[in-house]
Amino acid sequence: EYVPSVKISENDKLRAAGLSLDDREYLAECLARAYLRQFCVNKFFSTDPHPGNLGVEIVENENKQKGSITKAKTAAATITPRLVFYDFGQACALKDDQSGGILDVIEGIVDTNVDNCVDAFDRMGVLV
């Protein structure tokens, strides 16, 4: 399904649409969470994540709803930015040990534990 959006790298258009720095930080968090979900839950991910394949849908809301993530305000409405992925023509499926290894690598990076990172890469079969 095609969803109209603004290319994620078109900062001037995003600003003109009313997106704030907070909205962009929110989108960055959404992108990180989306990829973690793809890697670790779905075990299927897009291997072509360039800016041409990522967009921001601008959803206008007439009334701010309780619990919604609406940060930017226009004169007549609030807006909610939503991340859009295009083109899953290049995608890859992961095995259980690969998806688990990705989490182990991230944990090793957060903990600054090089040995855990190397062990995780070895378990995933990416070291020669």
How large a percentage of the chain has pLDDT more than 70?
Answer: 88
Give the model's pLDDT for residue 46. Answer: 87
Give the model's pLDDT for residue 88. Answer: 82
Give the model's pLDDT for residue 71. Answer: 52
Give the model's pLDDT for residue 61. Answer: 78
CA 27 to each of CA 21, 37, 84, 116, 122: distance values in angstroms, whole numbers, following the listed order: 10, 15, 10, 30, 32
More confident residue, 124 or 113: 113
CA 10 to each of CA 15, 43, 103, 111, 127: distance values in angstroms, whole numbers, following the listed order: 9, 30, 31, 34, 37
Nearest to 76 by CA among 65, 67, 64, 66: 64
Kindly report, residue by residue over 22-65, the tens digit of the pLDDT.
999 999 999 999 999 999 899 999 888 888 899 999 988 765 54
Cα separation, 123 vs 128, in Å, equals 11
DSSP type of residue 29? H
Cα separation, 83 vs 86, in Å, equals 10
Cα separation, 97 vs 28, in Å, equals 27
Kindly report, residue by residue over 70-113, the tens digit of the pLDDT.
455 544 458 889 999 988 888 999 998 888 999 999 999 999 99
Name the token pair of 27.
């989108």
Give the model's pLDDT for residue 68. Answer: 47
Is residue 46 within 8 A of residue 91, CB to CB? The reply is: yes
Full-model pTM = 0.73
